[in-house]
Amino acid sequence: MAGFRASDEHTAAFERDGFFVAPSLLDSVEIGLLADIARADREIATEAYGRADGEGGAVKLLVRNELAEDDIYGAIVRSERIVRTMQRVLDDEVYHYHNKMILKEAKVGGAWAWHQDYGYWYDNGCLLPDMASCLIAVDRATQENGCLQVLAGSHRMGRVNHLEVGDQTGADPERVEAARERFELIHCELQPGDGIFFHANLLHRSDQNHSNHPRWAFICCYNTRRNDPYKESRHPRYSPLDVWPDERIQLVGDAQWRRMQDYAK
Q: 37: domain CATH number? A: 2.60.120.620
When pLDDT is cut at 50, 70 and 90, the band that residue 140 belongs to is very high
Give the model confidence (pLDDT) of 191-224 as tens digits: 999 999 999 999 999 999 999 999 999 999 999 9
Q: Is residue 166 part of a domain?
A: yes
**Residue 115: helix, strand or coil by DSSP?**
strand
- The 8-class DSSP code of residue 233 comes to -
Q: How far apart are the first and last CA of the chain?
A: 34
Q: Is residue 91 part of a domain?
A: yes
Residue 88 to residue 197: CA distance in whole angstroms: 12
Give the model confidence (pLDDT) of 154-182 as tens digits: 999 999 999 886 667 899 999 999 999 99
When pLDDT is cut at 50, 70 and 90, the band that residue 1 belongs to is very low
What domain range is 60 assigned to?
15-228+241-264
Q: Is residue 247 part of a domain?
A: yes
Q: CB within 8 A of 26, min separation 6: which ones?
A: 2, 34, 76, 136, 193, 195, 249
Q: Is residue 236 part of a domain?
A: no
Is 133 a residue whose pLDDT tops 60? yes
- Average pLDDT on 68-84 reads 97
Q: Is residue 124 part of a domain?
A: yes
- Predicted TM-score (pTM) of the model is 0.96
Domain count, the chain: 1
Q: Report the amino acid identity of residue 240.
A: P
